[in-house]
Amino acid sequence: MSSNPDAVLYDHPGPRAKTRNLILTIVFGIVLVALLWWVYDKFDEKGQWAGPLWRPFLDGSTWTDYILPGLWSTVKAAAIAMLLSLVFGIIFAVGRLSDHWWVRIPSGVVVEFFRAVPLLLMMFFIFFGVPFLTEEPMPPFWAVVIGLTLYNGSVLAEAFRAGIRAVPRGQSEAAYAIGMRKNQVMREILIPQAARAMLPVIVSQLVVLVKDTALGYIIGYTELLQNGVNTLGANYGNTVAAAIVAAIIYVVLNASLTFFAGVLERRTRRSGRAPRAGRGAPADTGIVAVGPVGAGGAVEPQG
Amino acid sequence: MDVFSDSANIDTYVTGFLWILKLTAAATVGALVLGVVLAAFRVSPIPVLRGVGTAWVNIFRNTPLTLIVFFCYFGLYSALGLTLSDDIDRNNYWLGVVGLSVYTAAFVCEAIRSGINTVPAGQAEAARAIGMSFLQTLRIVILPQAGRAVVAPLGSIFIALAKNATIVGTIGLMESSSAMKDLINANGNAVIPIFLVFAGTFAVVLIPTGYLFGWLANRLAVKR
């Protein structure tokens, strides 16, 4: 998104266009204000702006008893699931690129399967189904973490695979030429470069992961949505207010992660991924091959 | 596979997936219409509209869908009294469609905007040179080409939408994931077949759909 798309579609405004834009700005501004007022009024009609509904948020105990513990559970599940899905992703990316069909095909099946199955279905199976098999109750925390790992790990596996394939071929040829074995080439040459190129994708996937922890609410994991909206809302009768506050927390958390991903992307692009950037085809195709993954594949809008 | 010889269980399974199908269909239309409008907002010359588009994308893309669906039920319906149908299932269905549409529209908007970026600047300049207005340029020249460029990302957005439809189970609609939960709780001896049938249905439908969109994207790509 480096080029400004706005400049493409219309000219620099002349005097007439300026007046027209000003008039339209005012018209749409009034429409917007009217719309916001209407929403405000509807909420007001139902008494949603009443002080007692919002006062709990000025109270320290609301934060220490409900919101912060919920946020901590969210962050904890997201962090552990992220680490596990990175491991899962690397193993299955390498598995899918294996020379042996008996490694390649099962890895492919696993990755395709977990990408296609809804995360909630997976969590329900782990939480309600697995205890029937193991005859031990499944803690909701692990149901959330395992579900998140299988889904996000599969998405990351595809991202890593694209990253490994985007490393110019000369790299592995050179490594083989100096006598490295396949294992060494993968571990020392390809994965480090792919990981670096895929850094922005990994961080964007973290946003998806943080949002998906909210599914834990459905199986009773006491994360931000459960604790900060459901329990809090039930205690104070202010579900709408609590949901708005929780939404703001999620937006701030994820917007800062997205911002961080953007910074990383600019930094990796500027440093050119490798010394040979700008010397024509190989580096260019590398970046182009990475691009679509960053734009479309990574940001799978799962819950 | 004894579980599925019981016709009541088959019925639960079929009803669950019919809800997913209906949710996906309605929310796809909603998200597509809303997403195109938002994308037009975001590239328009009017700052207020650009602001609305940006705010929408940043808010809904960063909020968990579970929270949005939760809000549709407990906020819009319970607290604010918005009723979309007298039938309780229908009402939950439409609340779910609203939640899925507003959420997915943010992703559709961003996909289309990235598609607009792939159209060479000269195209819009040429359109302006022959006197087309902003809306004409967008409608006749830019969006048709942008649309072809974003077939693949739109495909993965709609596949995700079909999977996300399971979240509407949160507000009491018996879609496939809730149906599976009920079957598992009632038939503890057959958890594996039950899971394989439900998960397998998603895999069998969605994996080929993914390849179909990939093939379509190649076919429709504007060759430059």
Give the phi and the psi of residue A180 in degrees, each rounded to 5.
-75, 150
The tokens describing A140, both together, are 């909701």
Chain B residue whose CA is closest to A39: B80
Rounded distance between C-alpha atoms, residue A119 and residue A129, angstroms: 14
Which of A121, A151, A152, A158 would best serve as a mutation to test chain B binding (most B beta carbons within 10 A)?
A: A121
* Shortest Cα distance, chain A CAs vs residue B36, angstroms: 15
Q: Note whether B66 contacts A225, CB cutoff 8 Å.
A: yes
> Hey, what long-range contacts does A184-189 have (CB within 8 A, 24 or more apart)?
A186/A94, A186/A97
CA atoms within 13 A on the CB side of B138: 19
Helix B151-164 to helix B191-220 angle (10° resolution) is 160
Confidence band for A7, pLDDT divided at 50, 70 and 90: low
Of A9, A25, A225, the CB nearest to B138: A9
Interface membership of B7 toward A (CB under 8 Å): no
Rounded distance between C-alpha atoms, residue A203 and residue A209, angstroms: 10
Interface membership of A110 toward B (CB under 8 Å): no
Interface membership of A255 toward B (CB under 8 Å): yes
Residue A151 contacts by C-beta under 8 Å, 6 or more apart in sequence? A85, A114, A115, A117, A119, A122, A212, A302
- Residue A6 in this model has a pLDDT that exceeds 60: no
Q: Note whether A46 contacts B188, CB cutoff 8 Å.
A: no
Confidence band for A297, pLDDT divided at 50, 70 and 90: very low
Point out the least confidently predicted range of A2-6, A32-36, A197-201, B130-134. Answer: A2-6
Interface membership of B114 toward A (CB under 8 Å): yes
What are A156-167's pLDDT values in tens digits? 999 999 999 989
What is the mean pLDDT of the segment spanning B93-101? Answer: 96
Residue A203 contacts by C-beta under 8 Å, 6 or more apart in sequence? A257, A260, A261, A264
- Residue A300 in this model has a pLDDT that exceeds 70: no
Q: Is A72 exposed, middle or buried (0-12, 13-18, 19+ CB in 10 A)?
A: middle
* Shortest Cα distance, chain B CAs vs residue A151, angstroms: 12
Closest CA to B166 of B47, B91, B69, B81: B69
The pLDDT, as a whole number, for residue B1 is 57
The pLDDT, as a whole number, for residue A35 is 92
Of B70, B121, B159, the CB nearest to A243: B70
Interface membership of B49 toward A (CB under 8 Å): yes
Q: Note whether A296 contacts B134, CB cutoff 8 Å.
A: no
Q: Which residues of A touch B66 (CB under 8 A)?
A: 214-215, 217-218, 225, 303
Q: Note whether A9 contacts B137, CB cutoff 8 Å.
A: yes
What is the mean pLDDT of the segment spanning A20-49? Answer: 90
Percent of chain A with pLDDT over 90: 53
Residue B82 contacts by C-beta under 8 Å, 6 or more apart in sequence? B76
Which three-class secondary structure state does DSSP give residue A180?
coil
| The residue type at B86 | D
What is this structure's pTM? 0.88
The pLDDT, as a whole number, for residue B54 is 95
Which three-class secondary structure state does DSSP give residue B172?
coil
Percent of chain B with pLDDT over 70: 100
Q: Note whether A243 contacts B210, CB cutoff 8 Å.
A: no
Output the CA torsion sign for A209, A214, A219, A223: positive
Of A8, A133, A251, the CB nearest to B121: A8
The pLDDT, as a whole number, for residue A5 is 47
Interface membership of B111 toward A (CB under 8 Å): yes
Alpha helices in chain A (DSSP H): 6-9, 15-45, 51-54, 60-62, 68-96, 101-116, 119-124, 130-134, 140-166, 169-177, 182-184, 191-197, 199-212, 224-225, 232-236, 239-270, 281-292
Q: Residues 63-92, chain A: which have Cβ within 8 Å of B?
A: none
The tokens describing B208, both together, are 């080929």
Give the phi and the psi of residue A179 in degrees, each rounded to 5.
90, 15
Q: Which residue has the higher pLDDT, A299 or B71?
A: B71
Q: Is A173 exposed, middle or buried (0-12, 13-18, 19+ CB in 10 A)?
A: exposed
What are A81-107's pLDDT values in tens digits? 999 999 999 999 999 999 999 999 999
Rounded to whole angstroms, the maximal C-alpha distance in chain A is: 76
- Residue A283 in this model has a pLDDT that exceeds 70: no
Q: Note whether A112 contacts B203, CB cutoff 8 Å.
A: yes
The pLDDT, as a whole number, for residue A288 is 28
What are A235-246's pLDDT values in tens digits? 888 888 889 999
What are A40-74's pLDDT values in tens digits? 888 888 888 887 888 888 888 888 888 999 999 99
Confidence band for A271, pLDDT divided at 50, 70 and 90: low
What are B14-60's pLDDT values in tens digits? 999 999 999 999 999 999 999 999 999 999 889 999 999 999 999 99
Interface membership of A12 toward B (CB under 8 Å): no
Rounded distance between C-alpha atoms, residue B151 and residue B221, angstroms: 8
Q: Note whether A254 contacts B62, CB cutoff 8 Å.
A: yes
- Residue B159 in this model has a pLDDT that exceeds 90: yes
Q: Residues 221-250, chain A: which have Cβ within 8 Å of B?
A: 225, 229-230, 233, 239-240, 243, 246-247, 250
Q: Which residues of A touch B117 (CB under 8 A)?
A: 1, 3, 5
| The residue type at A165 | R
Which three-class secondary structure state does DSSP give residue B133?
coil
| The residue type at A234 | A
Q: Residues 134-193, chain B: which have Cβ within 8 Å of A?
A: 134, 137-138, 142, 152-153, 156-157, 159-161, 163-164, 166-167, 169-170, 176-177, 180-181, 184-185, 188-189, 191-192
Rounded distance between C-alpha atoms, residue B199 and residue A147, angstroms: 13
Rounded distance between C-alpha atoms, residue A190 and residue A181, angstroms: 12
What is the mean pLDDT of the segment spanning A205-230? Answer: 90
The pLDDT, as a whole number, for residue B221 is 85
DSSP A65-85: IIIHHHHHHHHHHHHHHHHHH
The pLDDT, as a whole number, for residue A142 is 96
Q: Which residues of A touch B47 (CB under 8 A)?
A: 25
Chain A residue whose CA is closest to B163: A118
- Residue A150 in this model has a pLDDT that exceeds 50: yes
**Is A258:A275 a contact under the CB 8 Å cutoff?**
no
Rounded distance between C-alpha atoms, residue B138 and residue B128, angstroms: 11
Q: Note whether B167 contacts A302, CB cutoff 8 Å.
A: no
Interface membership of B130 toward A (CB under 8 Å): no
User: Which whole-number Å values give the CA distances from A8 to B45, B46, B108, B139, B167, in the listed order?
Assistant: 11, 14, 20, 14, 39
The tokens describing B169, both together, are 């189970």
- Run of H or E residues at B146: helix B143-149
The pLDDT, as a whole number, for residue A260 is 87
The pLDDT, as a whole number, for residue A112 is 94
Point out the least confidently predicted range of A279-288, B67-76, B94-103. Answer: A279-288
Percent of chain A with pLDDT over 70: 86
- Residue A276 in this model has a pLDDT that exceeds 90: no
Q: How far is CA A13 from the centre of its chain?
A: 38
Q: Which residue has the higher pLDDT, A196 or A116?
A: A116
Q: Is A103 exposed, middle or buried (0-12, 13-18, 19+ CB in 10 A)?
A: middle
The pLDDT, as a whole number, for residue B63 is 94
The pLDDT, as a whole number, for residue A272 is 53
Which three-class secondary structure state does DSSP give residue A249?
helix
What is the mean pLDDT of the segment spanning A18-23? Answer: 90
- Counting every residue written for chain B, the total comes to 224
Q: Which residues of B touch A6 (CB under 8 A)?
A: 43, 45, 50
Chain B residue whose CA is closest to A229: B67
The pLDDT, as a whole number, for residue B4 is 84
Confidence band for B72, pLDDT divided at 50, 70 and 90: very high
**Is B124:B144 a contact under the CB 8 Å cutoff?**
no
Q: For chain A, give percent helix, strand, coil, nearest 5.
A: 80, 0, 20
Interface A-B: count of C-beta contacts within 8 A: 202
* Shortest Cα distance, chain A CAs vs residue B87, angstroms: 23
